[in-house]
Amino acid sequence: MLNFPRILTGEGVLLNAMTWLLQRISAALLLVVLGIHIWALYVFNTSEVISFSEARARLSSAPYVLLYVLLLFFGLFHAFNGVYTVMVDMGLKTRKTTIGILIILGTALFGIGVYSIIQFIM
């Protein structure tokens, strides 16, 4: 059993207020960042299928790299915090274990996302 500080157990007052606030902040950010992502894919995409060279051309500029790192981080946070909220709403009892699993899963997805970004840059 993972042993998190009380702050992280979901019963702590701090975690609730902060994740709630972060969920709102990430939501507002995603409106912009995800908007740009979709816009870039469908409006600036010339051919029918997205190609590696096009993706690489986009990711050669630093703002786009920053955009995708932000998208990954806040997208994953928003998604997994959302999943956790759904579970608590349904009366989840094993909060610590669930938070542990979600953090591991989220970190893994962040890792493979960063890997993908690096593959485009290299």
Partner 1 sequence: MSLQEINVKIFRYDPEADVEPRFDSFTVPVIKNMAILDVVMYVQNYVDKTLAFRCSCRIGMCGSCAMYINGRPRLACRTQVSSLGTPDITIMPLPNLPIIRDLATDMEPFFEKWKKIKPFYVGKSELKDPVAIRPDSGEREFIDQMLDCITCGCCYGACSMVATNEEYLGPAALNRAYTLIADKRDAIRVERLKAVGRSYGVWRCHDQFNCAEVCPKKLVPTKSIQQLKKRCVLQKFGVFK
Partner 2 sequence: MPSREMVASQRYKTNSQVWNAVGMWAWMLHRATGIGLVLYLILHATLISTSLISGAQSFNATLTMLMTNPVLHYMELLLVGAVIYHGLNGVRLLLFDIGIGFSKQKEIFWAAMVLGAIMWISVVVVKLS
Tell me which residues touch partner 1 (CB under 8 A): 10-11, 13-14, 16-18, 20-21, 85, 88-91, 95
- In the list 1, 3, 5, 31, the residue contacting partner 2 (rule: CB under 8 A) is 31
Which pair of structure tokens corresponds to residue 20? 């709630």
* 10 φ, ψ (degrees, to nearest 5): 90, -15
Q: How many chain residues are in contact with partner 2, going by CB under 8 A?
A: 29
Q: Give the separation between CA 54 and CA 74, rounded to whole angstroms.
A: 24
Closest CB to partner 1 among 21 and 118?
21
Other C-beta atoms lying within 10 Å of the C-beta of residue 52: 9
Minimal distance in Å, beta carbon 52 to partner 2?
Answer: 4
DSSP 6: G
CB of 2 to partner 1, least distance (A): 18
